[in-house]
Amino acid sequence: MPVRSLALLAAGLALAAGTAAAQAPKGCQFSDSHFHLTNYIQEGITAAQHLRQMGDRVCRSTLFGIPLQQQWSYRESGDLGPGYYLEADAPLYYYGLTDAMIAQAYLSLPEKDRGRLDPMITGFNPADMYAADHVRRVLRMYPGVFTGIGEFSVHKEFVSPKIAGGGATLSDRSLDRLLDFAGEAGLIVILHNDMVRPFTKDAKVSGYFDQLTALYARHPKTTIIWAHVGMGRIVQPVHDLATYLEQILGNPAMSNIYFDISWDEVAKYLVASDDSSTRAAALINKYPDRFLFGTDVVAPSTPQAYYAVYDMYQPLWTKLTPEAREKVLKGNYARLFDAARVKVRAWEAANVR
């Protein structure tokens, strides 16, 4: 496609992104940068149900499944089918159909309702050199649908050891190939990788931080959101967490790296005390452009279940400056995901026949 045509397309898509933002309800409280429509057995709610739960409180939301399927092994659990990865010893395996399920859920909506949602591609194995080809294939099958890739995991407590065939590592060439393509296509990336191994808080002794920052440094043109600021169910904040994060936040060469504040398991650390929420707020107030809020709720059955995580973070919200709170809850989402929409649609226009 000629450069002028691409420029016109980008301008038109930028206008469309603005229209999508205008569709967000006036007075909405937050956008959700981390939302799972389906669970570990690929069951969940419909996109229409999610929009109804969003109501007037949620401006916009990501939309993705979970790339892993929990195997139901009759030898291991008999007639009791597990619904979650902690409910069975059987392995997890990658489930590529999840991307088609998310695309179909999104396309089932009236066109006027799609602007508030940003579907993400997750159904690939990051340890597979063909992962990038899977993402490229999905974009070609469903042009105009996806905005990014993720959430996908590399090192994740309890999950990585259960993956059939073994999980990925931060040094896998396949991961570099995947992130290279994401940068080329303009796809935003949501990456889950624990800061440290379980049951330790010493990033120098038992952490992944150096490998992560090396990975980030190799991909300066790819917009990456580090999910949960590296924390998890039992992966607690490391000693001097702010000092580690500032190695990224204060480095101009890593201005493409962002952090999502998501998951109720992370909230229990950040708002555990007045001191913990004060320290978290101080860092966010210093770098308000680099954090986004996400619920990390999985297929919520009720609006109350969906909003519970946002409500848990209230002690943190009250300590943010008005400017920081607006950016973390709404502004950064719109800026990053609108930019990704424009870039991905332009890549599709140039590469999809």
Give pLDDT tens digits for 46-103.
Answer: 999 999 999 999 999 999 999 999 999 999 999 999 988 888 999 999 999 999 999 9
Pairing of strands 148-153, 117-121: parallel
Given 3.40.640.10, 3.40.50.12780, 3.20.20.140, 2.40.50.100, which CATH number is that of 28-351? 3.20.20.140
Alpha-carbon gap, residue 121 to 139, rounded angstroms:
9
- Among 33-37, 140-144, 205-209, 310-314, which stretch is predicted with the lowest mean pLDDT? 205-209
Average pLDDT value for residue range 232-259: 95
In which region does residue 128 sit, left (phi positive, over 0), alpha (psi from -120 to 50) or beta (all else)? beta
List 23's β-bridge partners, or say none: none
pLDDT of residue 262 exceeding 90: yes
Question: If you average pLDDT over every residue of the chain, what do you get?
Answer: 93
Q: Collapsing DSSP states into helix, strand and coil, what is residue 218? A: coil
Dihedral, CA of residue 190, residue 177, residue 156 and residue 98, to nearest 10: 60
The DSSP 8-state label assigned to residue 255 in this structure reads: T
**274-287 residue pLDDT tens:** 999 999 999 999 99
Closest among 103, 108, 106, 104 to 121, alpha carbons compared: 103
- Residue range 124-147: average pLDDT? 98
